[in-house]
Amino acid sequence: MRTDRRVQKTRAAIMQAFEKLLMKKSYDDITIQDIIDEANIGRSTFYAHFETKDSLLEAICSGLFDHIFAEHLNAEPGHDFSGSEEDVAAKIIHTLYHLQEDRKRLSRIFSCESAGLFWEYFQFRFSAFVQREIVPALTADIVDVPRDYVVDFICNAFTSTVKWWFYQGLKATPEEVSGYFLRMTLR
């Protein structure tokens, strides 16, 4: 069933307002009132779309991660990995490019009280990528290691890599960071 255009437009306005506020204020300091004022909507309209500020963050993360961890990549301004469907390194680099492009918004999220929520969404989505793209290629080498352990290990290693990269000020390129991660985890 298609979503009504008015619903889509209102939902987009709420998300844009929230993202605009993230550029000005920390996540912790943003209130529902701030969001509805910025979006120029009523309180009941906000709650018709989102239960909480965290559910709004989850929706934004889903929108970002749906694209980043898509099975098929398209050409985009700034990078083109559309011909790399079978290349795990290219998909990791693609992920890092998007995180780099969204660094201002993400830096605010990483430093807020709900940073754990973001990382939980991130790991959940990356986990599906790992199960689909990475683990099948590894299973011959690590037959006696439980699959869920392998997925959890790789996801935690990548999350730590991304955190390290952000704390270093994103000085390394996405290609370099991908190389570090792959050399350390997928030898």
**Residues written for the chain:** 187
37 and 113 share one domain: no
Q: Is the per-residue pLDDT at 1 higher than 50?
A: no
22 and 64 share one domain: no
83 and 157 share one domain: yes
**pLDDT tens, position by position, 134-165:** 887 775 667 788 889 989 999 999 999 999 99
For residue 82, is it within any domain? yes
**pLDDT tens, position by position, 32-56:** 999 999 999 999 999 999 999 989 9
What amino acid is encoded at 132 in this protein?
R
Q: How far is it, in rounded angstroms, from Cα 31 to Cα 42? A: 14
87 and 124 share one domain: yes
Q: Name the E strands within the chain.
A: 75-76, 79-80
Q: Can you tell me whether residue 184 is helix, strand or coil?
A: helix
Q: How far is it, in rounded angstroms, from Cα 38 to Cα 31? A: 11
Q: Answer with the one of 50, 70, 87 that is the final residue of a domain.
A: 50
86 and 12 share one domain: no
- Residue 187: the pLDDT is 65
**pLDDT tens, position by position, 86-101:** 678 888 888 899 889 8
- Residue 139: the pLDDT is 59
Q: Can you tell me whether residue 76 is helix, strand or coil?
A: strand
Q: How far is it, in rounded angstroms, from Cα 136 to Cα 130? A: 9
- Residue 70: the pLDDT is 67
Average confidence (pLDDT) over 115-139: 82
Specify the CATH number for the domain of residue 111.
1.10.357.10
- Parent domain of 28: 5-50
Name the pLDDT band for 25 (thresholds 50, 70, 90).
Answer: confident
170 and 95 share one domain: yes
46 and 67 share one domain: no
For residue 55, is it within any domain? no
DSSP letter at 80 equals E
Q: How far is it, in rounded angstroms, from Cα 99 to Cα 110? A: 12
Residues of the chain with pLDDT > 90, as a percent, come to 36
What amino acid is encoded at 12 in this protein?
A
Q: Rounded mean pLDDT of the chain?
A: 83
Residue 18's Cβ-count burial label (10 Å; 0-12, 13-18, 19+) is buried
11 and 41 share one domain: yes
Q: How far is it, in rounded angstroms, from Cα 66 to Cα 60? A: 10
Q: How many CB atoms lie within 10 A of CB 55?
A: 12
For residue 116, is it within any domain? yes
Specify the CATH number for the domain of residue 38.
1.10.10.60
Specify the number of domains making up the chain. 2
153 and 89 share one domain: yes
39 and 87 share one domain: no
27 and 64 share one domain: no
